[in-house]
Amino acid sequence: MQNLSVNTEEILKKCKDSGLRRTNALQVLVQTLLETNSPMTLAELTEHASLAELCDRATVFRLLQRLTDKGIVRRLGLHERAAYFTLLLPGRHQDFLICKSCGDIKPIKAACPVHNLEKEIASSTGYTNLYHELEFFGTCPQCATA
| CATH (domain of 108) | 1.10.10.10
Position 104 scores a pLDDT of 84
DSSP state of 130: -
Q: Which amino acid is at 144?
A: A
Beta strands in 29-83 (DSSP E): 40-41, 73-76
Query: In sequence order, which residues have a C-beta less than 8 Å from that of residue 123 and are 6 or more positions away?
Result: none
In a domain, 146, yes or no: no
Q: Which domain holds residue 83?
A: 8-141
Confidence of residue 141 (pLDDT cuts 50, 70, 90): very high
The phi-psi region of residue 89 (left if phi > 0; otherwise alpha if psi is between -120 and 50; otherwise beta) is beta
In a domain, 2, yes or no: no
Position 80 scores a pLDDT of 67
Number of domains the chain is built from: 1
DSSP bridge pairs for 135? 96
Share of the chain above pLDDT 70, in %: 94
Q: Which amino acid is at 106?
A: K
In a domain, 19, yes or no: yes
In a domain, 3, yes or no: no
Instruction: Write down the pTM of the prediction.
Output: 0.78
